[in-house]
Amino acid sequence: METCKNIVNPWWCWLLGLCFLCTSAFCTTVGETHYHEFVVQATPVRRLCKTRNIITVDGQFPGPTLEVRNGDHLVVKVVNQARYNITLHWHGIHQQRTAWADGPVYVTQCPIRPGGNYTYRFTIERQEGTLWWHAHTSWLRATVYGALIIRPKEGFSYPFTIPKREFPLLLGEWWNVNPIHVVNRALRTGTAPNVSDAYTINGQPGDLYNCSEKNTVTIPVESGETNLLRVINSAMNQQLFFTVANHNLTVVATDASYVKPFITSVIMLGPGETTDVLITTDQPTARYYIAARAYASAENVDFDNTITTAILEYMSAIPCTETTAQSNCSRPIFPSLPAYNDTAAVTAFSRSLRSLSDNISVPTHIDENLFFMVGLGLNPCRINRSNCQGPNGTRFTASMNNVSFVLPSNFSILQAYYQGINGVFTTNFPPVPPTIFNYTGNVSRALWTPIPGTEAYRMKYGSTVQIVLQGTSIVEAEHHPIHLHGYDFYIIAEGFGNYDPETDPAKFNLVDPPLRNTMGVPVGGWAVIRFVADNPGAWFMHCHIDTHLTWGLGMIFLVDNGVGELESLLRPPSDLPQC
Ligand code: C2O
C-alpha cells in the first residue's frame, strides 16, 4: 500500500546487497522533535456583533495547528497566563507509556494553575491523519482547541491521490456569554446548559449570522484539482452534518485511520470525531457553500438549529459586493442538508466506514467481556429548591452502568494509582449493569437515578477487551459519541434497540471494521468495540458531549504494567503539576 521513497542508501548497503534492510530501518527510525510554547491567555475576540474576552492559545482562535509526521516527537510547553486552571489533551494520540502527557484534569494530572506551566512530551507512533488538541478542564475547550495533523513518514505518501491543497476545517460552537458561566449556571440549577448562539468553521460563524459576512472563511481552489479537507468536530455538545454544495466528498480516513474510500454528499461527525475527505473541483467556476448544522437525535432536547458556512471559492469567481454588478458576480450556491433528525443518513454513513486494509488483527479471543449501558438520568430532590430546576424539580445527571462519574480533587487518578494512594478512587466499576432491564423501552422511574462515584475498571496488560455500549432511553434516548483515551478500537457492529448476545454476534465485522477513538452509539441502540489493552495507565472513557461529561457520563480504565520496561508506564515528569 505504501512505499518508502526518496531514501538514499549508503554505498556499503549496495555493496553488501542490504538495501532493502537499510531502507526499512531508515524508514522506521527517523523522527523529528517539534518544540512549541503554548501561552494560554485571555484575548478579546469579536463575533456576532459582540466583543468578548475568550481564553486562547497564543491569542489565536482556533489555536495553532500542529503539523508533524508519523514517528515524530512533540514537546509542548504550556504556560498558563489565564485565570482558570487548565490542562491540554491530544485527542486520539495513543500516548504509549506516556499517560502523564494525556491531559484530562484529575485523571492523568492535576491542573496547571494560573501562573504555572507544564511541558507535554510524547511521540506519534503508528498514526497518520487528522487529530486535534483541546483543553480538558471545565468547558475551556469551547475556545481552546486546534488541529493536529500527522503526515506519513518522510518518503512515504498517502494511500490515495496526492491532494493539491489541504485544509483543516474545525467545526466549533460559540456562545455570546462566557461558556464557563453557562456550565456553572447549569450545575447550580440542575438544568441543561443553554445551547450555543452559533456554530463556527475555523472560528467564524459565516455569512448567515449577523455581523459575520466580512469574516466568512473562504477556501480558495482552482478548477480541476483534488484537495483534502480535514474536518474536525470540535463543537462542545452537538453532532454535526457537514456538506459542500454540488460537490461529492470521497471519505478516506476517520480519527487518523485510513478507510476504504467511498463517495457521499454528506458526512456526520460527533464531537471529538474527525473525517478526511477528498474533493474534486469539477463544477462550473463559482462560489459554493461549505455548511454544517446539527444532527439532533433526541426528540425533546433543545439544540442550536443555526447553520455555519464557509465558501469554496473557485479562484476566478467574483464575489458579489455592493459595488460589483449583479450580472457577473457569484453568490454562493447553497447545499441541501439532511433534516435535523435524519438518523437514516447517519446510519448510512457510519455503516459505510471500513478499514482500508483487509489484513487487520481484530482480537477474537476475549479476556474482558464488558457491557456498559450509557445514558442520562435525573436526581430527585426532596425539597424543590433553586438547585433543582430540572424536569419536575429534579437535577440532570448521566452515567455508565449506573455510576455517575465524579472527578477527584486532591490527586489525579493516575498519580494515586502509581503511588498507591488510597481513598482517591475505587476499582469497583461494574463490568455489566447492576440490573438487567429493557434499556431502550419504557424504563421504570426507579431506575432513573444513578449512584455517584469515582470508579475504575482494572485490567491486566495485554487483555483483549470487548465492550458492548448500550444506549438507554432513560429521560431521553440520544446518540452518544463515546471517546476512549489511550487507544484506538475496532467498531465491529452497531444496531438499534437492545443488543442481543444470541443473534447480534452474527453481524460482527472481523474483516475490515473501522479503527477509531470515538464511537457514535446510535440513538436508542448499541455498538460493539474491541481493542487490546496494551498501554499501561489510567484512561478516561467518556461521552464527548461536554454536557453529558459534566453530568458524569464517563469511567476510567486502569491498565497495569506488563513485563519489563517496554510494557511499563514511564516515570512521572518532574514538572507534573501538583494538586
Ligand atoms: Cu477529546 Cu477526554 O477528550
| pLDDT tens, position by position, 192-221 | 999 999 999 999 999 999 999 999 999 999
Residue 338 Cβ < 6 Å to ligand 1: no
Q: Which residues lie closer than 8 Å to 325 by C-beta, 6 or more apart?
A: none
Measure the CA–CA gap between 572 and 579, rounded to whole angstroms. Answer: 14
Collapsed DSSP state (helix, strand, coil) of residue 105:
strand
- Atom 1 of ligand 1, residue of closest alpha carbon: 91
Ligand 1 atom at minimum distance from 132 CA: 1
CB 174 within 8 A of CB 45: no
Query: Do 246 and 316 fall into the same domain?
Result: yes
With a 6 A CB cut-off, is 141 part of the ligand 1 pocket? no
DSSP state of 112: B
Joined grid coordinates for residue 311: 465558501
| Rounded distance between C-alpha atoms, residue 237 and residue 259, angstroms | 26
**C-alpha to C-alpha distance for 552 and 326, rounded to whole angstroms:** 54
Please state, in angstroms and rounded to a whole number, the distance separating the CA atoms of residues 277 and 290.
13
Strand 463-471 and strand 368-380: pairing? parallel
DSSP 141-203: GGT-EEEEEEEPPTT---SS---S-EEEEEEEEE-SS-HHHHHHHHHHHTSPPPPPSEEEETT
30 alpha carbon to ligand 1 midpoint, in Å?
29
Q: Are residues 138 and 175 in the same domain?
A: no
Q: Could you report how far apart the first and last alpha carbons of the chain are, in Å?
A: 48
Percent of the chain with pLDDT over 70: 94
Query: Is 42 in the same domain as 68?
Result: yes
pLDDT, tens digit (0-9, with 9 covering 90-100), for 479-495: 999 999 999 999 999 99
Domain boundary among 295, 315, 350: 350
In a domain, 256, yes or no: yes
b/e sequence 476-491, b meaning 16+ C-beta within 10 Å: bbbbbbbbbbbbbbbb
Kindly state if the Cβ of 485 falls inside 6 Å of ligand 1. Answer: yes
Assigned domain for 65 exists: yes
What tens digit of pLDDT does each residue of 368-425 get?
A: 999 999 999 999 998 778 999 999 999 999 999 999 999 999 999 999 999 999 999 9
For residue 540, the ligand 1 atom closest to its alpha carbon is: 2
The phi-psi region of residue 260 (left if phi > 0; otherwise alpha if psi is between -120 and 50; otherwise beta) is: beta
Atom of ligand 1 nearest to the CA of 485: 2
Q: Are residues 74 and 117 in the same domain?
A: yes
Tally Cβ neighbours within 10 Å of residue 464.
Answer: 18
Q: How far apart (Å, rounded) are the C-alpha atoms in residues 378 and 394?
A: 6
Kindly tell me the burial class for residue 7, based on how many C-beta atoms sit within 10 Å of its own C-beta (0-12, 13-18, 19 or more).
middle
pLDDT range class, residue 321, cuts 50, 70, 90: confident
The answer to whether the CB of 525 is under 6 A from ligand 1 is no
- Please state the rounded mean pLDDT for residues 323-345: 88
Domain count, the chain: 3
Q: What is the CATH number of the domain that holds 486?
A: 2.60.40.420
Of the residues 103, 127, 151, which one is the last residue of a structural domain? Answer: 151
State pLDDT tens for residues 124-156: 999 999 999 999 999 999 999 999 999 999 999
Say if residue 572's pLDDT is above 80: yes
Mean pLDDT over the full length of the chain: 94
The verdict on residue 3 lying in a domain is: no
Atom of ligand 1 nearest to the CA of 92: 1
The finding on whether 548 has its CB within 6 A of some atom of ligand 1 is: no
Asked if 219 contacts 311 with a C-beta cutoff of 8 angstroms, the reply is yes
524 CB contacts (<8 Å, ≥6 apart)? 440, 471, 473, 477, 496, 497
Does residue 279 come out as left (phi exceeding 0), alpha (psi in the -120 to 50 range) or beta? beta
Which range (174-183, 191-200, 315-324) has the least confidence?
A: 315-324
DSSP labels for 414-433? HHHHHHT-TTS-BS---SS-
Q: How far is the CA of 318 from the centre of ligand 1 (A)?
A: 41
**pLDDT of 68 over the 60 cut:** yes
Range of the domain at 118: 10-151
Q: How far is the CA of 86 from the centre of ligand 1 (A)?
A: 14
4-16 confidence digits (pLDDT tens): 333 444 455 455 5
530 Cβ inside 6 Å of ligand 1: no
- Distance between CA atoms of 164 and 388, rounded to whole angstroms? 55
The pLDDT, as a whole number, for residue 15 is 53
Q: What is the pTM of this model?
A: 0.94
CA–centroid distance, residue 545 to ligand 1 (Å): 10
User: From atom 3 of ligand 1, which residue's Cα is the shortest distance away?
Assistant: 91
Q: DSSP readout, 527-575?
A: EEEEEEE-S-EEEEEEESSHHHHHHT-EEEEEE---SSGGGSPPPPPTT
Domain-embedded: residue 161: no
Check if 272 has its Cβ closer than 6 Å to any atom of ligand 1: yes
Q: Which of 16-20, 282-286, 338-342, 402-406 has the lowest mean pLDDT?
A: 16-20
Please give the distance of CA 510 from its chain centroid, rounded to a whole number: 24
CA of 273 to the centre of ligand 1 (A): 10
Contact by Cβ (8 Å): 53, 44: yes
Q: How confident is the model at residue 271 (pLDDT cuts 50, 70, 90)?
A: very high
| Same domain flag for 324 and 301 | yes
- pLDDT beyond 80 at 17: no
